[in-house]
Homo-oligomer: A and B are copies of this chain.
Amino acid sequence: MSGARIPEATVARLPVYLRALNAMHEAGTTTCSSLELAQAAGVNSAKLRKDLSHLGSYGTRGVGYDVGYLRYQIAREIGLTQDWPVVVVGIGNLGHALANYSGFSSRGFRTVALLDGDGTRLGEHVAGLRIRGFDDLDEVVAEHGVVIGVIATPASGAQEVADRMVATGIRSILNFAPTILTVPEGVDVRRVDLSSELQILAYHEQRKSGGERGLPASVAHELAEAVDDVAAVAAPSTEQTAGQAAGARR
């Protein structure tokens, strides 16, 4: 049972369940039904039960789930019984925030190094860690056995950083830069794309506020080129082409 493959959609929800269980545990709850847990996690109760059934049969009919037990089982399945060393590359606006974020360390991840390509940042201390040069990557990875890398550089440098990470043996990458990374098979990349999230919200928002439609295609076609440089459509993204857009931090 616990060797079988777990559907990707289920894997993506396990962290949510785990968090809900942790909250219950802290509230002193020792037992919960699938309905309670499902509501806390914001999903259908049938879906929750099916998800959990992929891990094994850890509930008791007529009773529910033991919070502590289920918590352990999910943590084990995700791999949080060990903690994972993580390296963050690109200590700008976002990198600083990530370095200071306590939510990682408290959930099974340990930031072991902060790297930046910009020499002027070297030596600066953030959250108790000294910023080191990007060239130290191999050393850091070897020393701590890092397998997860976080990229918080501008898009222009992200692919290069990813290539170097892969070369050093990192096989899981969390990418905040708005680019699609090309990596060899066997390397996992998850992308966190805030602009996309906002754009998806905007799409739905537009649908809600009555559907005032755009121009007919015939007219639009003629306007297309003219509109190219209008900021609202899609202003030249500084970071897609040009070197890092060093926004004035702080």
Return the contact of A79 from the options B56, B68, B104, B202 (Cβ within 8 A). B202
Q: Is A228 an interface residue (CB 8 A)?
A: yes
- Among A20-28, A44-52, A115-123, A135-143, the one that faces the other chain is A20-28
Q: In the assembly, what is the distance between CA of A202 and CA of B72, in Å?
A: 16
Interface positions of A from 196 to 219, Cβ below 8 Å from B: 196-206, 208-209, 211, 213-215, 217
Q: In the assembly, what is the distance between CA of A40 and CA of B79, in Å?
A: 33
Q: Is A86 an interface residue (CB 8 A)?
A: yes
Q: In the assembly, what is the distance between CA of A35 and CA of B173, in Å?
A: 25
Q: Is A16 an interface residue (CB 8 A)?
A: yes
Q: Tell me, rounded to whole Å, the shortest Cβ–Cβ distance linking A131 to chain B.
A: 13
Question: Which applies to chain A's interface (DSSP): helix, strand, loop or mixed?
Answer: helix
Map CB proximity to B onto A62-82 as digits: 1 under 8 Å, 0 otherwise: 000010110111011111111
Return the contact of A27 from the options B104, B173, B237, B241 (Cβ within 8 A). B241
Contact at A26–B240, with CB atoms within 8 Å?
A: yes
Kindly report how many copies of this chain are found in the complex they form together.
2
Q: In the assembly, what is the distance between CA of A223 and CA of B72, in Å?
A: 9
A21 nearest CB neighbor, chain B only: B234
Return the contact of A232 from the options B81, B208, B214 (Cβ within 8 A). B81
Contact at B199–A237, with CB atoms within 8 Å?
A: no
Contact at A247–B93, with CB atoms within 8 Å?
A: no
A188 nearest CB neighbor, chain B only: B204
Q: A27-B241, A241-B27 are in contact. Are A71 and B233 (CB under 8 A)?
A: yes
Map CB proximity to B onto A10-32 as digits: 1 under 8 Å, 0 otherwise: 01101110111011011100000
Task: Name 18 A/B residue pairs within 8 A (Cβ), A-sorted.
Answer: A22-B237, A23-B240, A26-B236, A41-B180, A78-B199, A80-B234, A84-B198, A84-B205, A93-B96, A93-B100, A96-B97, A98-B194, A100-B247, A103-B237, A127-B248, A174-B194, A188-B201, A192-B194
